Chain A
């Protein structure tokens, strides 16, 4: 059986919210995972115009991640799904995957 690190969707209609979970590859999205190691809010937050330093700030997305658990699960061979790979590579835990146009 393959272990995957993947996203599990929560939140309501039109307001997605994801748990970053470690689960068996063939288990259902909503099923109870082996472990939750983080959360990902894909709805970007916009910095307000109330402060000077926010003048050129870009909207941002929030991620909470337990780094030590993520490292452990990667070490025992859990395979991140593509979206999680992207997040983990930004966190500096895995190499960046080359984009399809770079491969060709």
Chain B
């Protein structure tokens, strides 16, 4: 199917996508004027607008077959109200209760039924993947499904139009999700990857001649820890040199401190064999150590809490001084030795712990298809919400489709950028059979 989902500025259509063009279109969208327009024209425009967002990848005929005029809704019940009255009070007199209760008329909110016009499309697998924040657009989600990166209930599912049933568990390959939601690589990072690949190919050729691939692999593992650190430093350096204009001064300082720490570790490690150990084991040891220290320090903490708010600003200023101590600690941690944590303050503890956790979870790796360390792509936060009918576990990139979306008083669960002024005529358009 040809992709007609261009986010052109001239047309200003809103799509299911996280692109900045789409964000701009979303921001400048105004509900179309209805004055001087026939009812048919209003419905036509509303339909065109909302179909550009809802299931733009679905053919019109296919959508018309899916459309259902029945709209699911729920009413949150209060158990105390149910207990207080068995229904005879409300139906007393002429059918609407003997006393007029003023409270209800004030609090009663309307249920926005027509906002649910496109609810059947939310059942589609590709749309559900986009709604779970696993892809940056429905088109991309669709590609993931077609390329075999998605499983439903543990089986590979290659149909983006598969309609999820309540209770279905779908899972996307985490690498793809990181690629879809992460910031893209810069020009320089891409070039580095290319060079790395070329090098690898060359070395591979050599090893094939020597026919000692197995031995090579083992050596690689031993060198791994060192390599990671080296790569870290190189990455820090490149960030420093390339994004000079963009980086704020504070971050530059932090980076410099970090680089220093790594360099020191590297220079020591050539003589000692400690570093050849797995980084992973070092990490777990260190966190244990930190925990123990933390427990000792706890009584003091409570006093400090009050000060914290005032200190925060001060800490930010101190960060340069702190980073020296931090780098010491980081260095000793990486060497696998004891960490002298007594000198560090609570804040520094946190920073150190955080740095180590994040280093482990979010390594710099040129082979990845996204910029490493991973960070969210620009403007992602403006689009990030997860509707209630999905329960998502981001760690494993899996989600469960709990139930069909419903409307309730005051809100509708189908995410749509349009108000009722658009969705009502659009619903009206599909109510009438024209085919």
Contact = CB atoms under 8 A, between A and B. Distances in A.
B338 to A, nearest CB: 39
A81 interface: no
Nearest to A51: B154
Nearest to A54: B154
A49 B169 CA distance: 12
A62 to B, nearest CB: 15
A48 B170 CA distance: 12
A50 B169 CA distance: 9
Contacts of A46: 155
A39 to B, nearest CB: 21
B395 to A, nearest CB: 16
B255 to A, nearest CB: 41
Nearest to A46: B155
A44 B155 CA distance: 13
B153 interface: yes
B70 to A, nearest CB: 32
Nearest to B155: A48
A102 to B, nearest CB: 38
Contacts of B154: 48-50
Contacts of A49: 154
A50 B154 CA distance: 6
A48 B398 CA distance: 15
Q: Chain A interface secondary structure, helix, strand, loop or mixed?
A: loop
Interface of A: 46, 48-50
Interface string B33-66: 0000000000000000000000000000000000
A46 B155 CA distance: 9
- Nearest 8 A/B pairs, CB to CB: A48-B154, A50-B154, A49-B154, A48-B153, A48-B155, A50-B153, A50-B169, A46-B155
Contacts of B155: 46, 48
B168 to A, nearest CB: 11
8 contacts: A46-B155, A48-B153, A48-B154, A48-B155, A49-B154, A50-B153, A50-B154, A50-B169
A48 B154 CA distance: 5
Contacts of A48: 153-155
Nearest to B154: A48
A48 B155 CA distance: 7
B61 to A, nearest CB: 24
A49 B154 CA distance: 6
Interface string B116-153: 00000000000000000000000000000000000001
A14 B322 CA distance: 67
A102 B224 CA distance: 56
Given A48-B154, A48-B155, 6 more contacts: A46-B155, A48-B153, A49-B154, A50-B153, A50-B154, A50-B169
Contacts of B169: 50
Nearest to A45: B155
Interface string B150-169: 00011100000000000001
A50 B400 CA distance: 13
Contacts of B153: 48, 50
B330 to A, nearest CB: 38
A29 to B, nearest CB: 31
Nearest to A50: B154
A50 B153 CA distance: 7
A91 to B, nearest CB: 28
Nearest to B171: A50
Nearest to B151: A48
B77 to A, nearest CB: 34
B60 to A, nearest CB: 29
A87 B169 CA distance: 34
Nearest to A47: B154
A41 to B, nearest CB: 15
Contacts of A50: 153-154, 169
A50 B155 CA distance: 10
B230 to A, nearest CB: 36
B153 to A, nearest CB: 6
User: Among B153, B154, B155, B169, which residue has the most Cβ atoms of chain A within 10 A?
Assistant: B154
B84 to A, nearest CB: 45
A68 to B, nearest CB: 34
Nearest to B398: A50
A42 B153 CA distance: 22
B281 to A, nearest CB: 27
By CB atoms of chain B within 10 A, which of A46, A48, A49 has the most?
A48
